[in-house]
Amino acid sequence: MNIGAMKSYLLIASASILWGTMGILAKLAFAEGIEPLALIALRLLVSSTTLGVVLSLFNRKAFQIQRVDVLWFLGFGAFAIAFQRVSYFYSVDLTTPAVAAILFFTYPVFVVIFSMIFLSEKASASTFLAAVLTLFGASLAVRAYDLGSLRTSFGGIAFGLGSSLLFVVYVLMTKKLRRTYSHYTSTFFGDVVGALLMSPIIILSIPNLNGFSLDLWILIISIAWGPSLLAYLLYSYAMKQCDAVKGSIIGVVEPISATLFSTFLLMEKLELLQVVGIITALTGVAIVISRKASGSRSR
């Protein structure tokens, strides 16, 4: 297999594992009394400020963007960063975490379709099969079969699908921006724009900041540096050499890692169908990797 492609796959899988910690860290933060929207806003503020300081010291060229691309970065930060995360929160709020996850992880299918249209990427029958397997496996991993725990509403479904489509925007725009800019530039400006859009929530949260416990601040910083900043840097870096379709399918490692983290850290029971789902989703990922490998050998 091409070394560059394998490196990209490993980086995307690593980013997805980091994203899988978000649910646990967010649960702990909510238990400390922070509101979800305030958590989203503060994690964007911390991640953008942290990256801004680091880049100002070591890589100021990352701040340079062409005037013609300003609107692209504004749209990227608004839709792919801020609105996507808010949409996912409201999907969880109006339905359940399981329903929100199922709706969100339809995004590989959308990426397959839109990448063919906008990025001229080709998708074979095996790629479509991999997308279906990962979607089905992810649904089982988050216990979509437990009908008693599923709660739906029109608004929740709309926000869930909106979250999925906005993540597709993130994937496609990241792929486009990475043709010209570094992963530092795209991540920094995306987070800055997102933080600015969420600034009213940050301002409203100021009176409560003094009441935040040390544990809560540690959780906020952990979320901002781990599943926010580092994960998105890894994903953005990997997208330079990995096409959007395969990258999105491998990204479904996230619900698998979230399920396993919940099992081992929160002592939640891992059911047989969840194990089947994990194996099914990983089979889809394996198809993507093996297909790439065979394609490399044929060349």
- Digit-coded pLDDT (tens) for 227-253: 999 999 999 999 888 877 788 888 878
85-94, 95-104, 164-173, 265-274, range with the lowest pLDDT: 95-104
Q: Is pLDDT at 202 greater than 70 in this prediction?
A: yes
Q: Which of 65-79, 86-100, 189-203 has the lowest mean pLDDT?
A: 86-100
Cα separation of 283 and 281, whole Å? Answer: 5
Per-residue pLDDT band at 110 (split at 50, 70, 90): confident
Give the model's pLDDT for residue 35.
87
Please tell me the predicted confidence (pLDDT) of residue 22.
82
Contact 258, 23 (CB under 8 A): yes
Report how far residue 13's alpha carbon sits from residue 19's, in angstroms, rounded to the nearest whole number: 10
pLDDT value of residue 233: 96
Residue of higher predicted confidence among 104 and 66: 66
Query: Mean pLDDT, to the nearest integer, of 251-261?
Result: 80
**CA distances from residue 28 to 220, 223, 291 in whole angstroms, order as listed:** 10, 11, 40
- The Cα 36–Cα 89 span in angstroms is 7
What pLDDT, on a 0 to 100 scale, did the predictor assign at position 298?
A: 41
Read off the amino acid at residue 146.
Answer: D
pLDDT digits (tens, 9 = 90+) for 124-142: 788 888 888 888 888 888 7
What does pTM read for this prediction? 0.85
The pLDDT assigned to 81 comes to 94
Alpha-carbon span 26 to 206, nearest angstrom: 20
Confidence of residue 150 (pLDDT cuts 50, 70, 90): low
pLDDT band for position 296 (cuts 50, 70, 90): very low
More confident residue, 103 or 3: 103
**HSE toward the beta carbon, residue 294, CA cutoff 13 A:** 6
Q: Is residue 160 a contact partner of residue 104, using CB atoms and an 8 Å limit? A: yes
The whole-number pLDDT of residue 197 equals 95
Q: Would you call 151 helix, strand, or coil by DSSP?
A: coil
pLDDT of residue 244: 79
Q: Which two tokens stand for residue 237?
A: 């870096």
Mean pLDDT in residue range 266-276: 83
Q: What is the rounded average pLDDT of the residues 31-42?
A: 90
DSSP 59: -
To the nearest whole number, what is the mean pLDDT of the chain? 85
Count of C-beta atoms within a 10 Å radius of residue 108: 32
Q: Say if residue 297's pLDDT is above 70.
A: no
Give pLDDT, residue 169: 92
Task: Point out the least confidently predicted range of 12-26, 50-64, 93-107, 185-199.
Answer: 93-107
Tokens encoding 114: 């839109």
